[in-house]
Structure 1
Amino acid sequence: MSTQQAVWLPGIGQDFSVGPREIDAPGPGELLVKIISSSLNPLDWKIQETGFFFIKSYPAVIGEEAAGTVEAVGEGVTDFKEGDRVFFQANMGSNEFATFQQYCIVVADLAAKIPENKTFDQAASVQIGIIPFAVALYAQQPQGLAHLAPWIEGGNGKYTGQPIVIMGGASSVGQYSIQLARLSGFSPIITTASLHNAELLSSLGATHVLDRKLSTTALKDAIVKITSIPITLVFDAISLPGTQQTAHDILTTGGTKSEDKVLHPVFGSFHEPPNRELGKSFMPVLTQWLADGTIKPNFVEVVPGGLNGVSSGLQRLKNNLVSGKKLVVRPWETA
């Protein structure tokens, strides 16, 4: 049996190690992809520290998104062929789908082709960043809020004049959220971030960038100066206790009780059955939007060492040492 190099997590709270793993064959509706670039995400270090409900057994291979070339296609796949350049979100929960390795299995319906003017590194930064907002706003209830997506007829610019606040605009999720909010027509688009990222976020569509260090009271005061329209939609791209509480506090309600506010947790995945059709409709559009510049990918930094760089890169994310860009590793540079 052919083998590859993979990053193994022996158990919750343990250190990663690089070692061999078999190369899987694609089943019906699947692709085998040679991973050229794999991105690092905050959830990865959280899985390492505390586990995740999708990970049923250890040792485990994790990793949430990547980009690469199609090596083989499974039965029934007609939209892809060997050699196609693709990017994708991993179907978490089984080692063969994880992206901290040199090959993985990909669900063909939810893969997208990389446009010629984008690199593997750029493409590897996209799906985990853009899908959470897409699910939160455009998936049907209870998964999302059932807004009309901007890639669906009648959805582009539909919410013109409705304000939105995005917590953590400089994060990967925040940057893509700003861009989708712009396409949906939300205005003003108010985001919090370190102010050195203000120019970047304005270029993506944010109309106002407020210092993420502002107190909740100061943030509410600043928002009132920007718009007199009540804030009825806040998206938290950071999802830490502090940002969640601030997001809750700046929401406008019709009454005085917390129960008047709807807090909607989101699992940002198109692999969940209720979200599959939404994801399938989005993939070809996402390829086109990246090609024509409608959606701009994150700035990317390559962490050296191939798969050996995963651990140090995740430590930087954990220590909040990454701002305004995405970290990726190149599995085939593993020594």
Structure 2
Amino acid sequence: MATQRALLVEEICKPLVLVHDRSIPTPRSGQVQIKVTVAGLNPHDQRSRDTGLLIGDKLPAILSKDVVGTVSRIGEDVTGFRVGDRIMSLGSGAVMDSSQSGLQEYALADVVNCTKVPDNISDDEAATLPTNVSAAFVALFDVLQIPVPWEDSGTTPSAILIVGGGSNCGKLAVQLAKLRNIQQIVVVGGDEMRLKKLGATHVIDRHLGEGAVVKRIRDAAGDDLIYALDAVNMPQGLGVAFKALSTHKQGKVARLLPVGDVEDRRGHDLLDVLGLFLYHNPPCLGMWERLTGYVEDGAISPTSFSTRQGLEAGVVNAALDEYRNGKNKAKPQIRIG
């Protein structure tokens, strides 16, 4: 049996361990095998290692759901991909299947959750997209139920509020809102010049204080605002979104951190974007079919990253430690091949 190198979580709250005898997974029907070049790390990977998030009963486990590489084998019933194609994939999270995770030399991908990497971006740039663009897409077009960009049916909202513009999900949500032709894209937090280049119409300094931030949102969007996405806050920080929504229309706040409740919702709905929503979700599957074209056209741009070299325990554990200690300024990408 062919084997490979892989980084494993063998014990919760312990460093990842490099092994050299992990079996190379074989693609099943509807899957391809990827020779991994880049595995992207996200905050939930640190929480998985240190708290057992999603993997506590599935050890040993492999982390990283942002996987980029070249197709090395093709399973049955697969069309549209060939050996040698450069692709990016969102590794399966529905059953936390480690065979689809990135911190190994070869991984599997469901063809419905991957797409070709266009020539105008690098593998490192591509690895910034799968998890974050999927989360932002599901938040806007499934949870908030804004009509998807490629359909003329439904009504395009006049305005949306995005809290957490400095986050990667926030930046991608801005681009998706622009793709949907939402006219007023009001963002709290993040670099104003960068966000306006991506499509934001108003960028508000999150440090102004809640009252001043809410006033500026209302000055920009008026009293008809009914859609908000909070990409960064725990319950205590969600007040801005609820207070900024319309006083006479039912509104919705989608949040990417589904922890705890909010007592004062001002009559509006609080909706959670759960990780499992990202996989085999009909609107999200439609996005995967179009993502290559969106990136080629410049409608979707990669976010910031820092490259780390080598499938080495010390390299990856240090990157996860930086997430734990709040020191990551850019998404760490692990160069494997």
Matching residue of 1:169: 165
CA distance in 1, matches of 2:112, 2:97: 18
CA distance in structure 1 between the partners assigned to 2:144 and 2:218 by the alignment: 25
Alignment map for 1:136-175 (pairs within 5 Å): 136-139=139-142, 144-154=143-153, 159=156, 162-175=158-171
Secondary structure of 1:151's counterpart equals coil
Q: Describe the SS at the equivalent of 1:329.
A: strand
The residue aligned with 2:326 is 320
Structure 1, unpaired ranges of 5+:
none
Structural mapping, 1:244-259, within 5 Å: 244-254=238-248, 258=265
Aligned pair count reads 320
- Does the Cα contact within 8 Å between 1:6 and 1:102 map onto a contact in 2? yes
Q: Separation in 1 of the partners of 2:52 and 2:208?
A: 32
User: For the residues of structure 2 that align with 1:116 and 1:135, how far apart are their CA atoms?
Assistant: 26
RMSD of aligned alpha carbons: 2.3
2:131 matches 1:128: yes
Runs (5+) with no aligned partner, structure 2: 250-262
**In structure 1, the residue corresponding to 2:305 is in which secondary structure?**
strand
Q: Cα deviation per residue 1:34-56 (whole Å; 9 max; x = unaligned)?
A: 11111111111122222224653
**Cα pair 1:135 1:268 within 8 Å, conserved:** no
Match of residue 271 from structure 2: 264
Match status 1:180 vs 2:173: no
Q: Using the TM superposition, give the Cα deviation of residue 177 of structure 1 relative to its aligned residue in structure 2, in angstroms.
A: 0.3
State the match for 2:316 in structure 1: 310
Indicate which of 187, 190, 204 corresponds to 1:210. Answer: 204
Instruction: Check whether the contact 1:306–1:331 (CA below 8 A) recurs between aligned residues.
Output: yes
CA distance in 2, matches of 1:242, 1:7: 36
Kindly tell me: are residues 243 and 327 of structure 1, through their superposed partners in 2, closer, same or farther at Cα, counting changes over 3 Å? farther
Q: Secondary structure at the match of 2:270?
A: coil
Would you say 1:33 and 2:47 are equivalent positions?
A: no
1:30–1:107 contact (8 Å) kept in structure 2: yes
> Deviation at 1:245?
4.0
- Give me the whole-angstrom Cα distance separating, in 1, the residues matched to 2:332 and 2:236: 24
Which AA in structure 1 matches 2:226?
A: T
> Tell me, what secondary structure is at the counterpart of 2:71?
strand
Deviation at 1:290, TM superposition (A): 0.6
User: Do 1:178 and 1:206's aligned partners in 2 also have CA atoms closer than 8 Å?
Assistant: yes
Task: Give per-residue Cα distances to partners, 1:245-284, cap 9 Å, x unaligned.
Answer: 43334333449963711000012456544x1x32332223
Tell me the equivalent position of 1:17.
Answer: 17
In structure 1, the partner of 2:108 is 105
> Residues of 1 paired with 2:304 and 2:119: CA distance?
18
CA-to-partner distance for each residue in 1:216-240, whole Å, 9 max, x for gaps? 2121122223232333211011143
Work out the percentage of aligned pairs sharing the same amino acid.
28
In structure 2, C-alpha distance between the alignment counterparts of 1:247 and 1:221, rounded to whole Å:
11
Where in structure 2 are the equivalents of 1:288-307 lying within 5 Å? 288-307=293-312
* Code of the aligned partner of 1:121: D
Identify if the C-alpha distance between structure 1 residues 37 and 257 changes in structure 2 by more than 3 Å, giving closer, same or farther: closer
Deviation at 1:131, TM superposition (A): 0.9
Q: Is the 8 A contact 1:270 1:278 kept in 2?
A: no
Distance 2:17 2:201 in 1: 44
User: Contact 1:253 / 1:261 at 8 angstroms: preserved in 2?
Assistant: no
Separation in 1, partners of 2:33, 2:277: 19
Q: 8 Å contact 2:48–2:55 — kept in the other structure?
A: no
Name the CA shift for 1:244/1:19 in 2 (closer, same or farther; >3 Å): farther
